Structure 1
């Protein structure tokens, strides 16, 4: 059961972040609606992953290896690795825990790891049988023997594990520095973020995307495709504006001015059927597809605008800017 929980735990966290729209982007990236930034900075992700893997390796050593076949130093290193995993789990809990939302669920897996880690260390110490050390006749030999014997005494493993954490972390930091990680990446991973307990940055305010309307949602696709060119105001919220959205709104204005009764019917039908579709659009890739699907309608809207407006481009350009201060 322990192994299953250690495997499913990270998967559950990924599922939760997807469900609650927590996105793996840097703190300075502007998000939409209820989206939030990830609690770990991209700059420190590799470091955190390596430390987490060490925690898993330590657990596997202590849980599944036959102690009688292992050198004492390997056992001590396994305990050090578990200590590192426990320390990492504590930091995760400090970063994400809150009683104001369901984000406290993110702390359940690291808490579970802490309990499992402490349990496997305790069992390792209780199950170990002290080994006999060879005695040396010389004074130097007896000193070495005394130092060596400390590794064979299980009650010493607790503090030896803490001591060995320092060189292990030093080696990890030096190695990761060679791969482009900063020496302080273990700290930046938690502080170079926004929206979380240890965050030291404030992200730009989220842009509100009106999910009732397909054209508005389509404007949230990839920039190279949907080509947003400014911000606007819609229903009291700042929104991303592209030409397709402006054309659609200008077309609706003309319908409302020229044939208000028919406009009301069209609006009712669109609200009833467009909203359920738009509500399901969460991915920018799907928004790209909607943008392309709306292209024929956009050309039709342009045709009507140019037929019934003396200054069609002025009307299009004025969409969503009248209330901007």
Structure 2
């Protein structure tokens, strides 16, 4: 919130100060740069943690639409094969925005400048689609992500204006002479902030072509980004119908606990119990083997343990409704 307030100040108030006021606020330029970079990278870290721990870490299973999930759980937000296209695009956009925020306009050649703007806008558009994809199941919990995206848009607009001002100041100080009249006419149009912003937006096309070529090279295809969102189930842009869910009803602790995070519960395979499909993990295999052992060696003790477990195990298992609780169990 503090960074956001400062971001709005730099975007809406500081540019309108007089020359004398700006001279008295020379430190603001450095402070603005630090504020922008802090928002970009701290916001990225917080968004990553929010998505993977708060949202996906509770009710999302790391499986694609073609495999059954437990009741109350969701499949992958992005298809596991094509999701890499979304991640690459967001990473390139992050690097591009960082470059623009880190260097003065005169330090970056015009073409890389424009391409950075193109990659940044594409990344912000794609990030908005990620937020919309999550929105159907997490209507309120996506607000922090939308808040971060809003700050990124303010930074992008602010950097666009900064590059416009630098461009016009360079033109005035160097008394530019054009070899072609069309260049001069174009320059006249670029003298307006809106026109130059439109020019940067036009660079989305070559930036998109570069990304598409990268996707093809990686074997994702030109429509990899679209497939990442649509070849899913349970989400806003999903087009696939998943298999019937696996029900927890009637299962005991080890079976329910197998619904936790894969790295912790270590699922081995699917199995059958009383005609129902269950997830078999190492803990369940070890527990069943140990029960067989005590049943052979100490049948009376086994009957006592079995009776206690039948009475209390199932009621306790009904409270294991999240992946984190399953991990603990």
TM-score (norm 2): 0.65
Tell me the residue number matched to 1:318: none
Cα 1:203–1:151 shift into 2, 3 Å: same
Tell me the residue number matched to 1:30: 68
CA contact (8 A) 1:191 1:198 kept: yes
How big is the shift at 1:126? 3.6
Query: Are residue 105 (structure 1) and residue 141 (structure 2) matched?
Result: yes
Deviations 1:66-103 (A, max 9, x none): 123223333322222221122112211221213xx545
Tell me the residue number matched to 2:154: 119
How big is the shift at 1:194? 0.3
Tell me the residue number matched to 2:28: none
CA contact (8 A) 2:255 2:278 kept: no
Q: 1:122 and 1:54 mapped to 2: Cα distance?
A: 18
CA contact (8 A) 1:86 1:114 kept: yes
Cα 1:8–1:219 shift into 2, 3 Å: closer
Cα 1:219–1:244 shift into 2, 3 Å: farther
Tell me the residue number matched to 2:272: 231
Q: Which one scores higher on RCO, CA 8 angstroms, separation ≥ 6?
A: 2
How many aligned positions are there?
269
Tell me the residue number matched to 1:313: none
Deviations 1:147-176 (A, max 9, x none): 467667643332112211111111111122
How big is the shift at 1:17? 4.0
Query: Are residue 161 (structure 1) and residue 196 (structure 2) matched?
Result: no
Deviations 1:6-54 (A, max 9, x none): 2221122111245313123211012234331111112321210121012
Q: 1:74 and 1:153 mapped to 2: Cα distance?
A: 21
Matches within 5 A, 1:241-280: 263=303, 266-268=306-308, 271-272=311-312, 275=316
Tell me the residue number matched to 1:84: 122
Query: Are residue 4 (structure 1) and residue 42 (structure 2) matched?
Result: yes
CA contact (8 A) 1:44 1:189 kept: yes
Tell me the residue number matched to 1:207: 246
Query: Are residue 51 (structure 1) and residue 89 (structure 2) matched?
Result: yes
Q: 1:195 and 1:265 mapped to 2: Cα distance?
A: 41
CA contact (8 A) 1:80 1:162 kept: yes
CA contact (8 A) 1:211 1:279 kept: no
RMSD value, Cα = 4.3
